C-alpha cells in the first residue's frame, strides 16, 4: 500500500505546522548523532512525524510525549529500545523497527537480540531488569494489563515511575504504529 498522505515541504507549512516541524527537527531528536533521518532530502518529515502536521495542537502534544519517553525517562536506553522494538514487531511497523534497530545498535543491542524481538520473542537476557522489562512489555502488548505478580515484579525492577514510563512508551509507539498504518500505508500488506 502506498503512502496516503503526501509529505509537506517546509515552505508549504502554516505557522502552527511550522512550530510542530521545528519541535521535531530542531528539538532533541535532531541534537547529536542521528541513527535515522527525521526528514527526507527535501525536508519532508518521515515516518509518523508527517501525520502530526495534520493537527498541530495534537501533533505537538504527541511529539512532546515521544520526546519525553525517549529523553527524560528513567528507563535504561537498552530497555527503552527493546520495548520499542517489541511494540514495532507486534504492530509490524517497518519504519519503527528500522529506525529503532539503528538506535538499538548504538545502545549495544546485538543482532541476536534484535532478531528475537522481530519474531515477537523475549530473548534470553542476562540482566534481570531487562528481562523483567521485556516480559512486562510483552504482557502489555498481548493483554493490555498486568497480573498482581507481574505488576510487583515490574515495580521492583523498574520502580513505579519506570513502570509508568514503560506503559506510556508502549501506548505511544502503538499510537505511532497505528498512525503509520493509516497514513503511510504500513502494516501486514505493506511488507
Evaluate if residue 23 carries a pLDDT over 80. yes
Evaluate if residue 189 carries a pLDDT over 70. no
Task: Give the mean pLDDT of the chain.
Answer: 92
* pLDDT the model gives residue 26: 87
Helix axes 94-106, 77-91, angle to 10 degrees: 160
Digit-coded pLDDT (tens) for 71-85:
999 999 999 999 999
- Classify residue 20 as left (phi > 0), alpha (psi -120 to 50) or beta: alpha
Cβ contacts of residue 182 below 8 Å, gap of 6+?
Answer: 4, 51
* pLDDT the model gives residue 187: 61
Digit-coded pLDDT (tens) for 129-184:
999 999 999 999 999 999 999 999 999 999 999 999 999 999 999 999 999 999 88
* pLDDT the model gives residue 154: 98
* pLDDT the model gives residue 191: 41
Amino acid at each position: 500500500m502506498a503512502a496516503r498522505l503526501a509529505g509537506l515541504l517546509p515552505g508549504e507549512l502554516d505557522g502552527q505546522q511550522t512550530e510542530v516541524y521545528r519541535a521535531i527537527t530542531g528539538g532533541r531528536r535532531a541534537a547529536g548523532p542521528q541513527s535515522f533521518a527525521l526528514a527526507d532530502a527535501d525536508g519532508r518529515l518521515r515516518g509518523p512525524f508527517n501525520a502530526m502536521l495534520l493537527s498541530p495542537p495534537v501533533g505537538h502534544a504527541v511529539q512532546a510525549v515521544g520526546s519525553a519517553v525517549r529523553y527524560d525517562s528513567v528507563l535504561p536506553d537498552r530497555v527503552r529500545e527493546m520495548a520499542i522494538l517489541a511494540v514495532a514487531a507486534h504492530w509490524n511497523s517497518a519504519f519503527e523497527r528500522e529506525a529503532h534497530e539503528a538506535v538499538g545498535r548504538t545502545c549495544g543491542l546485538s543482532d541476536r537480540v534484535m532478531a528475537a524481538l522481530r519474531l515477537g520473542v523475549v530473548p534470553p537476557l542476562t540482566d534481570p531488569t531487562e528481562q523483567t522489562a521485556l516480559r512486562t512489555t510483552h504482557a502489555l502488548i498481548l493483554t493490555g494489563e498486568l497480573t498482581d505478580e507481574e505488576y510487583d515484579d515490574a515495580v521492583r525492577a523498574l520502580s513505579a515511575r519506570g513502570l509508568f514510563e514503560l506503559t506510556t512508551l508502549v501506548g505511544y509507539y502503538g499510537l505511532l504504529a497505528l498512525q503509520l498504518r493509516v497514513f503511510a500505508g504500513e502494516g501486514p500488506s505493506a511488507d
